[in-house]
A and B are shown apart, each in its own frame.
Chain A
């Protein structure tokens, strides 16, 4: 009986010990599995969107198609992606216009995920008509608004002034006449205008032809022990997605009634 009593006491003490302790400790942190660090790209890959956006959904689904668990961490800065890639040998990074050096590219495997049409836009009250032939020289002495962190060399060579800012600020600058044109993906622009500038949608005009496509890729790091193998699995998963039609379904689920071919370009692999 006594033994039974001590047994009960011991059980209670042990249970209590398990039930107490700091509420928020490192032990409770969920380690990120197969973490890919992605650069924020408004409308398709962004923490501002409920599910991270189209690109985030495609990346997650491609891994899932191969039964690979993954974590996509969207970061606001290219410098942080570079840090994780170079200083911590991250498994991979994802995004558009990632400014990778030739030395870095030797150790990377690039898998394009989605390609968006990108264009220049102008404000009709400022210019009744504006034309461009696809050559940046047409914009000589103009001020162009581009995304923060975008490569500027081509603009500088063409004698173009640059304003770098977040998209909403660039649209405001366009309307205020502080910049002449801005460059953005057609889909991002469409969504931003509908969300915050609905009364200006008809006044902001897209220039034909489109400029270079914005290709969002996942870039795997061969220096990471899992990098090469996961790149292969990811590519395979993406192929399965496309073949099954799930790839298009994910895009359509995000863009609703918009015509897919107006905003996306097939990814060449």
Chain B
């Protein structure tokens, strides 16, 4: 039998354990996160300052890899492609998604089925999307040959093998995949809009178009912002779609920075250059995410 004093001590150990339990549970994943995410970001940052080739070295040389990178045509093509791809992808996904959401919001029949049909592409992996669109757009297999077989001999749709147009094919496939998701995002937001607002606007004499574009969509600013941020970071890290659809070709005309990074770091034994391009991508993401987080957190503090 334990005397009361001993028991008191036992209790206090248990109490202490209970008090520190949350920290104890949180600590291991937190440390792993710090090490594997932020640790490796720092590691990549250091590597990008060295002239590592096949194996990493830690002999810091300065910014020469960045100078090399910015002088490479391949990188500049990839970065220009990112600008084209990113802006068109975001623009079309949001526009199409938004219009689909507004149309589906009209209390139509079979809405559930249609919603699933439009949302479904998001459930498919980029590799599958890329492969399917590769077949559809292949001039000798897909749309072009089909239309020609139907009798339209002069029909041409060969963007996928055209140096100047290949990146737009990537946009096409990516928009097909993402606009359903954007639609779901907008539809759920539209459903939270007070129906009385629409009624009031009807009584005020506004047309349905005017109600959507003048009142409802402007009040969905946070949803636009979320959609933008999600699509922006998706576009910057796009990699597999390009691999499956065009494999960066013809030549390197449709590569994106992520493909460039993979090519340099893991195929051409240019780890330093690859690391430098990875840091450039990180900076691009940060340029978008940081202002977003800042505005979100600030809004919460003021809210």
Bound pair: A and B? no
